Chains A and B, each alone.
Chain A
Amino acid sequence: MKTKEIKVIRINATKAEPFVKAIEKKQEFKSKVQSGEIKVNTKKGERFV
């Protein structure tokens, strides 16, 4: 399957800061989920899909 080309954009560290923070938040959450600190709530709520 043909995919669209991915454009590379050079940005400075200041502009990258919100994105870096978002990734750090994501890593922290992932670590907590995988360590069991945050339990995935398997008590089912309303069906979404």
Chain B
Amino acid sequence: MSEYYKVFIDNNETSTQDYGFVFSTDTDVNYFLKFSRAAHLFKSECINCSGIYEFSFFPDKKEIKEDGKIKQTIIEVIKAFIEKHSCPVIFLCDTTDSRGKGRLKLFQIWSNEYAHEYNLGFRVFEFDHYSLPIGLIAHNTDINFNQYIEEIDALGLG
């Protein structure tokens, strides 16, 4: 039995800037996965940062039963995307439902399983009584990884 679900390209959501993917679980939850250009998050002077994609995923139901294949499917998609496009991926954790730090922790644990292949950076931005956890993943052959992290850290108040 496969450890992850089959994922398909969503041609309706795939353009020159964005890439969309879909998969369905055994309990009929449909997941939409999206990679969008994230250059707007970084200073325009950071040429190497222009290749970073922001990753998001959205189930079409609010209540999801625990299913390890979902986690593994998302990991496989991120890995395949990074390999295919030779680009880093940033993940912004939505904290409005108070699960943002939990999402980052999960992302961190999943990602650490692949630390031998990928460089990982984790930060939490704090502003106006709001926390925004973010994660950045790049293949360990990406020589610009430190620059991406420095750009993120440079946003700090010092």
Contacts and interface: CB of A to CB of B under 8 A. Distances in A.
Interface residues of B, number: 57
Given A3-B109, A45-B8, A47-B8, A40 B124 contact: no
B54 A16 contact: no
A45 B32 CA distance: 13
Interface string B114-135: 0000001011111110101110
A33 B132 CA distance: 22
By size class, the interface of chain A is 35 or more
Interface of B: 4, 6-13, 20-22, 24, 30-32, 34, 38, 40-41, 54, 56, 58-62, 73, 76-77, 80, 92, 94, 96, 104-105, 108-109, 112-113, 120, 122-128, 130, 132-134, 152-153, 155-157
14 contacts: A3-B105, A4-B108, A9-B123, A11-B125, A11-B155, A16-B125, A22-B40, A34-B62, A40-B10, A41-B11, A45-B10, A45-B22, A47-B7, A48-B7
